[in-house]
Structure 1
Amino acid sequence: MTNRPRASLGRVLDDLGDTLLELVHGDADQSAEIGGVVIHDPVDEPVLPQHALVLGVGLQDPQEVAHLLQGLGHHNAAALVVRSPITSDELITKAVEDSGVALLGLTRGASWDQLAVLLRSVLAEGDVGVAEPETLGGMPSGDLFALANAAAALLDAPVTIEDRSSRVLAFSGRQDEADEARVETVLGRQVPQRYSRLLNELGIFRELYRTDQPVQVPPLPHASGAFTIPRVAVAVRAGDEILGSIWVVVRTPLTEERTQALCDAAKLVALHMLRIRAGADVQRRLRADLVSTALEGGAGAREALDRLGLADQPVVVLALSTPQPTDLSDAGLATERQRLADAFAMHLGAVHPRSAAALVGDVAYGLIPVQPDRHDGEENAVRIAKDFLERIGDRVTATIGVGPVVRENSHLPHARAGADRALRVLRTARGPHRVARLADVHVESLLLELRDLIEARGDQPTGPIARLIAYDREHNSNLVETLRAWLDAFGDVIAAAGSVYVHPNTFRYRLRRLAEVGDLNLDDPEARFAAMLQLRVLPPPRKQ
């Protein structure tokens, strides 16, 4: 265990050191709390919270590292993390001394995404709505890393706390005393599939989840031909619900006293895991209320933006939505939407620490601050949105509408409306685009609104279009389809005929026929525009 301040740099090194991070240069005993985790972008000017922990993804050159350290010093950053090994260089040493920014090394094999998630887990308060940090069993509420370290001290062995899917939620120090399988598990934050499969075949999980006593886990074969060190595992449960498990690397069987200590630790971990889950739900609801209030405007919008840290600065709004799957229940659909919204919030938080995102209804809204002197806020938001959709892949067919940048907070409802309008066009269209600004789809949005107005009034097609629809219905002909193809092809008969798979001469005959039946002058631009507009906003019903 450690008595360092919970969100300090020293606390991060206590929890993640030895396994993931090492202090290369600088002072680990800084008293200031870390204000956030930010991924360095060499293209955009950094916008950092106070005492930020900056992840220098891809940085290797000593001059680049030294230059960034100097810049981060002006922003009051706490530390910079780069990939180990780090070349010893006087430039870097001097930059650390001059800037006051510590330099940390990320061990090889660990991914940046995993580090970002772990850092946010360590730095998270895990508490909502109380003035002082809450404790459970003498531990800060929700601090699974402190629990893992306490259990490791009692059991004199390295410990991991895992969820039902064998994902590592927290781990203790001294993991270097374990075997390669444990190190691989901690670095990947997930038990490797080959070990999970072996444990399942041996019936370990079945035994683990049906008893409240520790289960002995025999050595498992390793890829190198050796065997893992034996484990002892105990389920973490709340009543009949299995929350996860605690895994201890032991070279000799646990004594009776340590077995009891492990059982007691499981009960305490269960309380903390329930507190984390409850706190996350409360935080989600609170953030959703704040985001919703800010987007609606009104008397409470200013206070909501203050609490979100977005008051008095330009903001761009993103609206994310997914098609409604037919194979999911209402509960499954809500869970899937919340999972996507959480991923969206994490992505925006990695890009900009002061962004805010929440699920409001069936749409996840993101608010990204824009620097006052920048004029590419919308374009940058589009890049962020496309990057997110590329990361989640094609598993979820999500779309994102981007509203205009608003420089006064009172105009946020206008920004939300713009994002919603762009999103609606994307959801209605069948094209390949998954991200759009309102400026990109403004005309399509106006057509949809015109269609809404016509449907609300109950208007029906009139003039030539009405006559053509009636003729097609009575004679089972294709005059409306012919007119639509000709207008879409800008009068190119060859192209239009190809689109409806008829001979050009047949198409010309149909064109003359529709002009006669509909009393439509195809040489009149006003008549062509009126026909095209009606076909866009009043699509005729499909023939039975």
Structure 2
Amino acid sequence: MSTHPARGLSRVLEDFGPTLLDLVHGDPSAAAELGGVGIHDPHDEQHYPERAVVLGVGVHGAEETARLMRRLTGPGAAALVVRAPVDAAALEAVAAETGIALLTLTRGASWAQLAAMLRTLLSEGDVGEAGGQTLGGVPSGDLFALANAIATLLDAPVTIEDRRSRILAFSGRQDEADPARVASILARRVPERYLRVHEEHGVFRKLYRSERPVHIPPPTLGDEAALPRVAIAVRAGDEILGSVWAALREPLTQEREEAFQEAAKLVALHMLRHRAGADAENRLRADLVTTALEGGSGAVAALGRLGLADEPLLVLALGLEPAAGEDHAHVTAERQRLTSALAVHLMAVQPRSAVALLGDVAYALLPVPDDPAFARERAVQVATDFLQRTGDRTGAVVGIGSVAPEPAALARSRTNADRALRVLFSGRVARRVAAIGDVSIDALLIEMRDLAVANRDELSGPIARLAAYDRSHNSHLVETLRAWLDAFGDVIAASASVFVHPNTFRYRIRRVAEVGQIDLRDPSERFAAMLQLRLMGLCD
């Protein structure tokens, strides 16, 4: 259960509208807690969280919008967002019929930014126990609620920014500010042209050196009209966490300036709590994923807390092969980066998935249909798309386990994902993604090699005799036998593969039979020779 208040549609509109969102139809106060964010794709299978806010990217016109709203009644969506403007009158009856709220996204706003901001707002505290922690009367870590509280104190729209001038949260009433503030909200960061002006005038130097609010005159950029700003640094001891900015139409009174200074201390506590909460949630999620993967008595409870109970799952294992001489710290950071990227990627294609970095491998629990063949195909496609987006330079590979229809089978799915990952690392297959069903023989051969090493088994029989003869006579009998077996006994093809004349090859294959004391007409002896040769190849 969430440790934060319910995330309803009214809260979304309070925080993001009218700068980003406008309500066209629907009663936001009547909606229950929202379950997450979904992105509409007409060309792919859709998996929406219950009571989702669905982003209708590329949906235009009243007819297309109405058709989508009717389709969304099946999954139980709470709201649909489309790009403004829309024909409100034409969609009023559909909104009443479906009970789905219709919102519009401001022109120029980014769908990606809206999705990220909605997920930040709606997913806080999804993993964990209930609680009622507050700081200064504001839910702990809720930066949007804090921004609104400070805006009320100062009677001015407020933003909370990090050290890189990225917008972490903003208050309502941003439409009362200037185009520069609106552009910052839409881009989720302060535009470069304004940052350059602030740097030229030493604004950040003054801001980070002062304990008090810093008054900043409106920047002069051509004909753009801007309001004066007042900003204050947010500190935790000697560490600068970020800053709070207010756009002023009237100068602050002494009383409000002191309130602003006190508010900055509260922002620091919330930012630290927000950061610590994210770290704690990541640790908790990793613990829950670990418990689920073990498949023991706690797996069902762990899957329940992850929201993955009572459905088939499949384990993906993401591994990174470090380059020779690569710095350990760099590899560790790259693994963490890839884990975060995989979590974001899976959130888009399957919001109910869970990802955690356990040791050197990132494991993902992916909900799949109860059809092993289709589930494997879907997982391979998802993993392939992810690796294509990360690029070849990362050296990452993904092993895919077997479908786990119940929690007890998750441990087996993880084992199979690890087996597929090991095959990929061995270089036996020229691919970056492999399901265990596609590489099971290669995995079995690697495990047989391990067993032979563990038992200290030595090469014996015909292959041992051929290898010893090659070493003492500088001949190529093992190579000849391998080529002959690979070519199914086709002398012409086999001789071409080792670049010798067919007659020479026929002579060598006769010597193989004589020296190795092997009957090449016997299927059992041929199979035993092929198996030993494969195992030798693994040891090369």
TM-score range, shorter chain: 0.7 to 0.9
Aligned to 1:76: 76
Q: Name the SS of the counterpart of 2:73 in structure 1.
A: helix
Gaps of 5+ in 2: none
Q: Residues 266 and 520 of structure 1: is their aligned pair in 2 closer, same or farther, counting only changes over 3 Å? A: farther
1:139 equivalent to 2:148? Answer: no
1:441-475 deviation per Cα after TM superposition (whole angstroms, max 9, x unaligned): 11111111112112212223333433444455556
Give the superposition deviation at 1:335. 4.1
Aligned to 1:29: 29
Give the superposition deviation at 1:140. 0.9
Aligned to 2:288: 290
Equivalent residues of 2:446, 2:538 under 8 A apart: no
Question: If the length of structure 1 is used for normalisation, what is the TM-score?
Answer: 0.86
Aligned to 1:425: 423
Residue identity matched to 1:285: R
How do 1:61-460 residues align onto structure 2 when only pairs under 5 Å count?
61-88=61-88, 90=90, 92-126=91-125, 131-193=130-192, 195-196=194-195, 199-200=198-199, 203-217=202-216, 220=219, 222=221, 226=224, 229-250=227-248, 254-324=252-322, 333-372=331-370, 376-394=374-392, 396-429=394-427, 431-460=429-458
Query: Bigger CA drift: 273-282 or 119-128?
Result: 119-128
Residue identity matched to 2:189: Q
What is the aligned-residue identity percentage?
58
Residue identity matched to 1:242: I
Gaps of 5+ in 1: none
Equivalent residues of 1:128, 1:279 under 8 A apart: no
Q: Residues 140 and 374 of structure 1: is their aligned pair in 2 closer, same or farther, counting only changes over 3 Å? A: same
1:463 equivalent to 2:458? Answer: no
Q: Residues 439 and 130 of structure 1: is their aligned pair in 2 closer, same or farther, counting only changes over 3 Å? A: closer
Equivalent residues of 2:61, 2:86 under 8 A apart: no
Residue identity matched to 2:434: A
Equivalent residues of 1:482, 1:507 under 8 A apart: no
Question: If the length of structure 2 is used for normalisation, what is the TM-score?
Answer: 0.86
Aligned to 2:20: 20
Equivalent residues of 2:36, 2:53 under 8 A apart: yes
Equivalent residues of 2:316, 2:398 under 8 A apart: yes
Equivalent residues of 2:53, 2:80 under 8 A apart: yes
1:375-430 deviation per Cα after TM superposition (whole angstroms, max 9, x unaligned): 72222222222233333334533222222222222222222222222222222226
Query: Bigger CA drift: 441-450 or 313-322?
Result: 313-322
Equivalent residues of 2:397, 2:424 under 8 A apart: yes
Give the superposition deviation at 1:519. 5.5
Partners of 2:371 and 2:477 in 1: how far apart? 55
Residue identity matched to 1:323: E
Give the superposition deviation at 1:356. 2.3
Query: Bigger CA drift: 332-341 or 269-278?
Result: 332-341
1:53 equivalent to 2:65? Answer: no
Query: Bigger CA drift: 363-372 or 433-442?
Result: 363-372
Q: Name the SS of the counterpart of 1:539 in structure 2.
A: helix
Partners of 2:161 and 2:495 in 1: how far apart? 63
Residue identity matched to 1:108: R
Equivalent residues of 2:158, 2:247 under 8 A apart: yes
Q: Residues 488 and 226 of structure 1: is their aligned pair in 2 closer, same or farther, counting only changes over 3 Å? A: farther
Partners of 1:235 and 1:281 in 2: how far apart? 23
Equivalent residues of 1:482, 1:511 under 8 A apart: yes
1:140-194 deviation per Cα after TM superposition (whole angstroms, max 9, x unaligned): 1111111122222333333222223332211222333444443333222233445
Q: Residues 487 and 507 of structure 1: is their aligned pair in 2 closer, same or farther, counting only changes over 3 Å? A: farther
Residue identity matched to 2:235: R
Query: Bigger CA drift: 277-286 or 38-47?
Result: 38-47
Residue identity matched to 1:13: L
Partners of 2:71 and 2:216 in 1: how far apart? 50
Q: Residues 452 and 196 of structure 1: is their aligned pair in 2 closer, same or farther, counting only changes over 3 Å? A: farther
Q: Residues 256 and 479 of structure 1: is their aligned pair in 2 closer, same or farther, counting only changes over 3 Å? A: farther
Equivalent residues of 2:491, 2:502 under 8 A apart: no
Give the superposition deviation at 1:130. 5.3
Q: Name the SS of the counterpart of 2:81 in structure 1.
A: strand
1:517-541 deviation per Cα after TM superposition (whole angstroms, max 9, x unaligned): 6566666655554343223222387
Between the two proteins, the alignment pairs up a number of residues equal to 536
Superposition CA RMSD, Å: 3.5
Equivalent residues of 2:229, 2:245 under 8 A apart: yes
Query: Bigger CA drift: 341-350 or 190-199?
Result: 190-199
Aligned to 2:10: 10
Equivalent residues of 1:126, 1:143 under 8 A apart: no
Q: Residues 352 and 477 of structure 1: is their aligned pair in 2 closer, same or farther, counting only changes over 3 Å? A: same
Residue identity matched to 2:97: D
